[in-house]
Structure 1
Amino acid sequence: MDAPRKFEKPPSVRPSPQPPEGCLAVAIRVPVRIVVLVLVVPVRLVWDALVVGGRFLYRTVLRPLGRAVFVWPWVALWRYGVVPLAKALGWLAKVLLVVPLGWLYRYVLTPVAHGTGAALAWLYARVLTPVGHACAWVLKGAGAALAAGGAVMAWLARYLLVLPAGWLYAWILTPVGHGIAWCGRGLLWLATTVGTGIGTVLYWTARILLVLPAVALWRWILTPVGRVLAVVGREILDALGHAWRIAGHISLAVGRFLGTLFRWIFVEPVSWVYRTILTPVGHVVRDLVLRPAAGAARSVGRVTRQVLTAARDSARQARADFRRLVLGEPRQPEPVERREPTGDETRTLGRSTTVLTKD
């Protein structure tokens, strides 16, 4: 009978309903929200305007100015000042410190250390070791003497101090201590009894004069006032959040309205003027003025280049004529005999001679 119960669907857990609100919260909520909304909407509008202006100022002014003033000077200083200076200092340190210190360690300190180590080893083996053995023998004898003296002193201390002190503790000090302890316990019981009575009287006096009035004040005055203040504070916080969200929607609508108005008043007319007036006028100026002027300028440049080329050729020819008139004709180079076969003397497949081997 219990087996099918495992496959039954467990009952769904319903969330507990919120406790009903009192009439005080309902009476406070509406006027508080109205007042807070009236006060928060201008603040939210100013805040959104400042945020938009701050973002625009940051993107257009502060970020480029910050990069130009703070980032690029430090980058240039690091790249062209610190890095070359560090390389130069590293090279100087290597030349002035590392190389001389390495030479000093290799050729001065190492031989001196080897010689000092050998001298210390000889001193330890030949001088300090015999002296240590002798001192150890002397200390061993002194230790044996001190051990004998210690045994004698221990026997004397046992029979002159320890045994008399034990007898004194067992037969005199212990009974006296027990009597003192019994008297102390009696005095402690008396003090505890008196203190308990005084504490009980003070406790009930403080309870009647202080605790009960404080409990009544907390229960019947402070707790109701605190609950009222808590309800008022909670409603004010809820009203602030609600008003801030509503003010955000209002600010967004105002921003969109201002953006649309700006587009209708400024952007659309400027775009229409650019599209319908400036663009055709620019095309006309380009086709009727700029292109003919550019063609004329290119023609003038081409004619100027031709004139300059003709003038350079004329000057070059005049210099050559003047040089030939003053210095005479230049010496012609002697012809060099070419060894390539010409005419019928070319090599053929049926002949084994070439121009180089032919007599």
Structure 2
Amino acid sequence: MAERKMSEAGPGKDAKIPIPPASFPTHNSPRVWFMTSALSPLIVRLIRLLLAHGDYVAAGLPPSEIEDEDRSAEFKELINECKSDRRDREGWKDRIRGIRCDGRIMGQCGAAVAEAVATFGRIDILLCCTSEAVVGAVEELSTNAATQNLVRDQFETIFFSQVNFIKATLPLLREKRTGHIIILTGITGHIGTPGMPMYCASTWALEGYCDSLAYEIAPFNIKMTIVQPNKEIPVLSNKIIFAPQLPQYDSANNPAPGLRDILSNVVNLHPDTSIDDAKIKHKKQPKIVSKYPILTSDSKDRLVLETVHALTAIGGHENPPARHIVGYEGVASVKEKLKTVSEELEDFVEVSCAVDIFKSDVGRAALSNANKGIGNTPGTTVTTDS
């Protein structure tokens, strides 16, 4: 719902969205959360709800982000509130700990996890929420050494940094035979997005890793959940990196990577983040441009609160979903993708089963369903040899 209103009203409009109060699963004692990166508008709002609920938060602070005044402003404001004399913030300062750590460095991840345990005694929920988005078509990311490095940086940020935190936390969760790992990704884990191939690739890699890991840790009573909001949510609440644009992929010549234009328009709404198009056009000295989108507080609320409330409802749940899609737009997009995959699978099921050396009941059932038109497009029938 929040995504729909955001796209209809636009970041600068004043449309209000009725989002119900946050809900939490039933638990016997406060939980301890570890956030791999705590400076995005989404995570700052989540932390407020968790502290108000009585939970404890170990907040990962990537050095490059905490040193950026604009990026860290909301988190620092939250810390000042925690230290204030406000009655509704009583006890907050004792239940939050900011920990500087670069997720790309395994040693720092281990030290951060150890500090969290030394401070709060344990970790119950690991929320992997580190993200940034590289925007650029495949060709645009292979024009020179700098753009090729963006590919490696994308995987370092989204995949390897999260994996490092998971590896650092797993022995603790396994030892106490309980815990919940939540991975915040996006529907880009289901659907490829033109103009953001490396963002999608690193997201798919992380989800494949976690789908496999879920089976390995289930015997230790450790839960795994992948939370997928609509793509605009993780992208607009974190750094966006624009690779130099080739003329062949300009929207006037190639409409496929149109998301670049959409994101550029959002960034250009604020004068402090506006992009000079000449800087990212493929000329003699094209430049890589990095921006944290600056949105109004109301726009941030409309963008992220539905995802925030999904995380509060799922985190630490006794029987959490393996994968949760936030918002009806994301659900509709993923269902359409799965429908297409299913239809194509049925259309070519005869080819798939033709390579089977040994016939089986499963194969015969698949061919039988195809002959009956199950999953096929209207008017198509698959014929098979007896």
TM-score for both structures, normalised by structure 1: 0.13
TM-score for both structures, normalised by structure 2: 0.12
Specify which structure has the higher proportion of strand.
2
Specify which structure has the higher proportion of helix.
1
